[in-house]
Structure 1
Amino acid sequence: MLVGVILVGLLYALPNIYGEDPAIQISGSRNAKITVKTSEKIEKIFNEKKIPFKSIIFENNTVLVRVATNDIQLKAKDIIANELGNNYVVALNLAPATPLWLSFIGAEPMKLGLDLRGGVHFLMEVDMATALDKLLDVATDSLRNDFGNSNIEFSSLTKNDQQQIIVSFNSVNDRNAAIARINGLADYQIISQSDKELVIGISEARLQKAKTEAVAQNTTILRNRVNQLGVSEPIVQRQGSDRIVVELPGIQDTALAKKIIGATATLEFRQVNTSNSYNLQDILTGKARVPYGSEVKFTADGRPLLLYKNVVLTGDHIIDSSYQIYKGEPQVSINLDSEGGKKMLAFTQKNIEKPMATLFVEYKDSGKVDSEGKPILEKQEQIINVATIRSAFSDRFQVTGIDNYDEAKQLSLLLRAGALIAPIQIVEELTIGPSMGQENITQGLESCLWGLLISVIFMLLVYRLFGVFASLALVANLILIVGVMSLLPGATLSMPGIAGIVLTVGMAVDANVLINERIKEELRNGRGVQHAINEGYAGAWSSIFDANITTLITAIILYAVGTGSIKGFAITLGVGILTSMFTSIVGTRALANLIYGGRRVNKLSI
């Protein structure tokens, strides 16, 4: 059993010695598609520029080029980006160099954290102004409906630039009725009043709740987004009242990382204003005003349409989406949650044979900064689809009118991962290169080896042959830790994790010290050799178990309440405790039985 366990641990620890290859990953943008011809073109570029490469693989609509060194990687990235143009995303990455026969049995290297593998770190700030604007829009519509249901008549209900709602009334009685109604609603407060006008604000408690929800929901959505895109072991966590930390190990290209986490695309479903009482051309030329409650939006080919401002449904209610080709055209299938399904059903039942537009909304960096040096985000909207509602539908439908397959794929991915509740701004970014990560790995390995060497020397000098047993158990313990860490799907090794391994190496000999001292005590008391060995292991077991179980409980608590690097330390410490108990007790006992078992011995080398 002992040999089998160690061999399995060694097999799954092996991928870690092969390391990772510097790689260049090429993917298409909205206007370009990666094909086999693209892969052949890239290979031709490498050959013409005489850039050495290990392999060029076309898979999952991307091309992955492995090279030997970081210098070649950087040089090749610039050349490929210039040759292919702006329609392709050329990113730096790291690809595991695990042999195929190990990959076939599911053996993969340990997932390394940002400090060991390199990658990108972002500190992001949620745009609270936009989040509160959305809240005010919802509050305005809600208050309008509430007054209508309460039979309170008003002449106008609008919002101003101070996050306030201005309501004008035809009579003092209606104003008084509105005041009584507002006082009964916890989300609103009256700022000021006159004979026929009220200035209403959102209550402080509701504003704080909205801010907290905006950060919490954005954190969840960002985590879903990077998980959807296959980034290995990302860290996405809240920091402070309005900031989020995002760490993406393995990604070296900040432009690609920004594209992944900063995309704010979502959909809005709006009813088209088909009234004959306006002339759209007059509105565009300024000869006529835009009808109240409507606004002009444009399709991809520049065609204007008049849409009602009231949003039927937003992307917040989308729980799943997929993309496919139907009758030669790309389309995105959308599934809504129960609340979204009810809203869509109620709307479509009342508007059969009327057009509904799908508005694609995205926030992009305008290239300008505000007075505090933060980038100003620009809202870009485009109608991607206008369809006539032929019959009522609820939580399942399709969106068509998308330009190409890749755009449908990208839209589906963003919708499935979730649309950000409010735009985010990157206030700090840091790129950790793979060379710095390699230096951390080297220093961590050196600390492990020095700890192991000192422990081995001590055990050999003090306990002789039983010290050899303990030393072999230490080596087996390290192999098992690495093997188990490679197998655990959620485990990531970072510098604190290496610290946990070093600590485990020092603690692992404790059990053997207790066992050996107990054996020596039994021998001094005149026990026979075999009896002393048996009593040494049996007598020390309770102390070893109590000491390790208390440390294991501490590791479990650290994992439960800790975040990020603290969890990494807790995982390696917990795994190390379990493997050290196995090797120190079962392993050394097996070696003692192998050498001294089944024969008469007069003296022990201890």
Structure 2
Amino acid sequence: MNSLPNFSAKQADVNRTQPRKWLPTLVMIFTLLLLAICALPNLYPEQNNLIVSATSPQTSSLSLITLKDKLNQQGFTVSQAKQAGNTLQLTLENSNQNAAALNWLHQHYPTDFESKIVSKATSPYWLQALGLAPIKLGLDLNGGVLFVLEVDSDHALNERITQVKQQTKSALRHHQVRGARIELNNAQQVVIHVSQANDNLALVIKDLKQTFTDLSSETNSSGVNLFFNPQAQQAFHQQVMQQAITTLRGRISELGITEAVTQRQGSHKIRVELPGVQDPTAAKRIIGATASLDFHALQTIGGTRYTLEDGSSLSLNPNVVLSGQHIQGAQASRDEMGKPAVQLQLDGIGATKMTAFSKKNVGQPMATVFSEYYKDQHGNSVKKSKVINVATITSVLGSRFSITNMHSPQAAQELALLLRAGSLIAPVTIVHQQTIGPSLGQANIENGFAALALGLAITFAFMALWYRKMGWIANTVLLLNLICLIGLMSLLPGAVLTLPGIAGLVLTIGMAVDTNVIIFERIKEEQTLGRSPLLALKTGYNKAFHSIVDANITTLLTAVILYSIGYGPIKGFALTLGLGILTSLFTGVFVAKTLSFWLYRAPKNSPTRAHSAGETL
């Protein structure tokens, strides 16, 4: 009575497990198809176009033909031009001239037009709808400019300590602490000397710590020492480096440069790669600028004195009303008198601060101070600040207002660009610069892929001649491995193909062949022991699996270490090598095993299956 239920349960288990045999194969086929689709956009390279947009209705009257003729006269041959409203899309015959044409447009039409370089996909629409794009090319393949910048975070820390000193003076005055003396000692500590105890001194320290949250204090018999401990200094250094990288990326984006690489190099340096840029003048002027913008109230007694261009001077309150970090947008324009100006848009915090200040100071003047760093003859960073605007607050200001009386349209354009991208709080210096021509980049691509094709051809010939039928399986797997690697690099947003990366592709082919050689030789050993082809295949793959995984894991660890500590070409090589190891493991073991069993497994009750024991692989 109990045998029927037991038999049915076992039969149901068998039926449930049958489809599971095909599940790994279906996953494998799906993965191959997915990576192949991701690799397809590389057959359609992107096209770089110049996009020129009119900034006002007056300038939109400039026709497409006029602008096209002007560019042709300058030697920038326009092969295609399209106009949509107030926007022009220009395609040059020589795409390597895009950066030079963009620089010419910025010089001759600084406020009339907004110009930028935009990459346009040429792949089919359905690939674009999936968000797929070709692999990004590095500097050595696309040509361009390399900058290595050094960030002086120590100078920024000294500036911050100076701000603590100035804020301390204002706080002592506000809380009416009499008889206090302030000095900055050799240990970069702000020392407050008091002749007698004062309860309001605690309120001063409290206000300072609210402004500078990482500020430490130490009370002694003569007063209070204010300083930043080593942990706070290290955190500030990391903040400065991150802020510098973010700001540089914003400036590069504003320049209209695509596929740029900005990454940290060492402790105090930043590496900036600008593929496609052949004229580094404009990029150097904008990227290397350490500019900041601050708004100050005027102060009749004390304060910081500034000399104006006409020889007069004025005193400003050292406390900043609003700094450039709250500026969300900036555009060059003209005021009511037709003079160059910059329109500013503030974020929520900046708008709140400006509204609160202007509400209390309607009818009072407010100064705009522009600061930048430069290197003196001794190589030291020197901060130079100047008042570029003094205006009376006629009404309550909100999130939008203007800086007027700019010297020239070019100055207004560059200031707007710097403010849009953000200001650097630490001075940066370009310590290395290198320009790679587009012809050299194209030669690198041709030579690199010629080496890849030669390596593939020799490998294919050897595997086909030495291993016969199994060799053709290995060759098929090699092609699938290359497609999967290209698809995976196209899928990852941070992957960039460099010349050493092409070397990594060639090395990946060798490692993938090595995987197949180990497996095939193991299968031969099993056949020598008298096993049937199917049993030799199964045993050979199973026994070789652990050795292959162990060898590839050690190489993968090396690639991870190279990627974590390397930069530029080393990082590109490590990335390609690491991804190649993953794809070669997938194709060399799992895909090759499935193809081998499909090739040698004959249908049931067939003559081939009956005599398969005598077949040689």
**TM-score normalized with structure 2 length:** 0.71
CA contact (8 A) 1:238 1:244 kept: yes
**1:398 Cα shift?**
0.8
1:334 aligns with 2:343: no
Structure 1 pair 120/595, CA: closer, same or farther in 2 (3 Å)?
same
Partner of 2:164: 139
Q: Quick one: which amino acid aligns to residue 248 of structure 2? A: L
CA contact (8 A) 1:28 1:87 kept: no
CA contact (8 A) 1:187 1:202 kept: yes
Q: Matches of 2:410 and 2:141 in 1, distance apart? A: 34
Q: Matches of 1:306 and 1:530 in 2, distance apart? A: 93
Q: Select 2:139's aligned residue among 102, 108, 114.
A: 114
Q: Select 2:388's aligned residue among 382, 387, 397.
A: 382
**1:141 Cα shift?**
1.6
Q: Matches of 1:36 and 1:550 in 2, distance apart? A: 65
Q: Matches of 1:36 and 1:425 in 2, distance apart? A: 42
CA contact (8 A) 1:189 1:203 kept: no
**1:12 Cα shift?**
3.3
CA contact (8 A) 2:262 2:273 kept: yes
Trace 1:25-424 onto structure 2 (pairs within 5 A): 25=50, 35=60, 37=62, 39-45=64-70, 52-56=77-81, 65-69=90-94, 77=101, 84=108, 95=119, 98-101=122-125, 102-126=127-151, 131=156, 134-135=159-160, 137-145=162-170, 147-148=172-173, 152-154=177-179, 214-215=240-241, 217-226=243-252, 231-239=257-265, 243-272=269-298, 291-293=301-303, 295=305, 308-315=316-323, 317-318=325-326, 320=328, 332-335=344-347, 351=360, 353=362, 355=364, 357=366, 359=368, 361-363=370-372, 370-371=376-377, 379-383=385-389, 386-387=392-393, 390=396, 397-402=398-403, 414-415=418-419, 417-424=421-428
Structure 1 pair 188/56, CA: closer, same or farther in 2 (3 Å)?
farther
Q: Cα deviations across residues 531-578 of structure 1 (Å, max 9, x unaligned)?
A: 323333334333333333443344344444544444323322222122
**1:506 Cα shift?**
0.8
* SS of the residue 1:523 aligns to: helix
Q: Matches of 1:33 and 1:474 in 2, distance apart? A: 60
**1:491 Cα shift?**
0.8
CA contact (8 A) 1:92 1:251 kept: no
Q: Select 1:513's aligned residue among 507, 512, 517.
A: 517
Partner of 1:280: none
CA contact (8 A) 1:120 1:257 kept: no
CA contact (8 A) 1:270 1:356 kept: no
Tell me how large the CA RMSD over aligned residues is: 5.4
Q: Judge which range, 499-508 or 94-103, deviates more.
A: 94-103
Q: Quick one: which amino acid aligns to residue 115 of structure 1? A: D
Q: Quick one: which amino acid aligns to residue 493 of structure 2? A: P
**1:70 Cα shift?**
6.8
Q: Cα deviations across residues 217-250 of structure 1 (Å, max 9, x unaligned)?
A: 4344324543566644433345566543322223
Gaps of 5+ in 1: 274-289, 392-396
Q: Matches of 2:394 and 2:161 in 1, distance apart? A: 30
Partner of 1:470: 474
Q: Cα deviations across residues 283-302 of structure 1 (Å, max 9, x unaligned)?
A: xxxxxxx7532656879xx9
1:538 aligns with 2:542: yes
**1:31 Cα shift?**
11
Structure 1 pair 136/586, CA: closer, same or farther in 2 (3 Å)?
closer
Q: Matches of 1:80 and 1:323 in 2, distance apart? A: 19
Q: Quick one: which amino acid aligns to residue 496 of structure 2? A: T
CA contact (8 A) 2:556 2:578 kept: yes
**1:436 Cα shift?**
1.7
CA contact (8 A) 1:20 1:94 kept: no
CA contact (8 A) 1:96 1:109 kept: no
How many pairs does the alignment contain?
562
CA contact (8 A) 1:322 1:332 kept: yes
Q: Matches of 2:262 and 2:434 in 1, distance apart? A: 15
* SS of the residue 2:274 aligns to: strand
**1:477 Cα shift?**
0.9
* SS of the residue 1:401 aligns to: strand
CA contact (8 A) 1:268 1:311 kept: no
Q: Select 1:497's aligned residue among 475, 495, 501.
A: 501
Gaps of 5+ in 2: 1-25, 206-214
**1:437 Cα shift?**
1.7
**1:580 Cα shift?**
1.6
Q: Select 1:429's aligned residue among 416, 419, 433.
A: 433
Structure 1 pair 428/589, CA: closer, same or farther in 2 (3 Å)?
closer
**1:585 Cα shift?**
2.9
Q: Judge which range, 116-125 or 239-248, deviates more.
A: 239-248
Q: Quick one: which amino acid aligns to residue 315 of structure 1? A: S
1:441 aligns with 2:450: no
Q: Select 1:16's aligned residue among 22, 30, 42.
A: 42
Q: Cα deviations across residues 494-546 of structure 1 (Å, max 9, x unaligned)?
A: 23322322221111123222322232222222222233233333343333333
Q: Matches of 1:408 and 1:41 in 2, distance apart? A: 25
Q: Matches of 2:480 and 2:61 in 1, distance apart? A: 46
Q: Judge which range, 540-549 or 481-490, deviates more.
A: 540-549
Q: Judge which range, 567-576 or 403-412, deviates more.
A: 403-412
CA contact (8 A) 2:155 2:381 kept: no
Q: Matches of 1:321 and 1:81 in 2, distance apart? A: 22
* SS of the residue 2:62 aligns to: helix
1:571 aligns with 2:580: no
**TM-score normalized with structure 1 length:** 0.72
Q: Matches of 1:381 and 1:546 in 2, distance apart? A: 66
Q: Cα deviations across residues 199-222 of structure 1 (Å, max 9, x unaligned)?
A: x99899799767776555434432
Structure 1 pair 259/43, CA: closer, same or farther in 2 (3 Å)?
same
Q: Cα deviations across residues 445-483 of structure 1 (Å, max 9, x unaligned)?
A: 233223323322332232111011101111121111112
* SS of the residue 1:333 aligns to: strand
Q: Matches of 1:426 and 1:189 in 2, distance apart? A: 42
CA contact (8 A) 2:260 2:274 kept: yes
**1:429 Cα shift?**
2.0
CA contact (8 A) 1:157 1:166 kept: yes
CA contact (8 A) 1:123 1:428 kept: yes
Structure 1 pair 374/454, CA: closer, same or farther in 2 (3 Å)?
farther
Q: Matches of 2:76 and 2:346 in 1, distance apart? A: 45
Q: Matches of 1:411 and 1:31 in 2, distance apart? A: 19
Structure 1 pair 315/29, CA: closer, same or farther in 2 (3 Å)?
farther
CA contact (8 A) 1:131 1:422 kept: yes
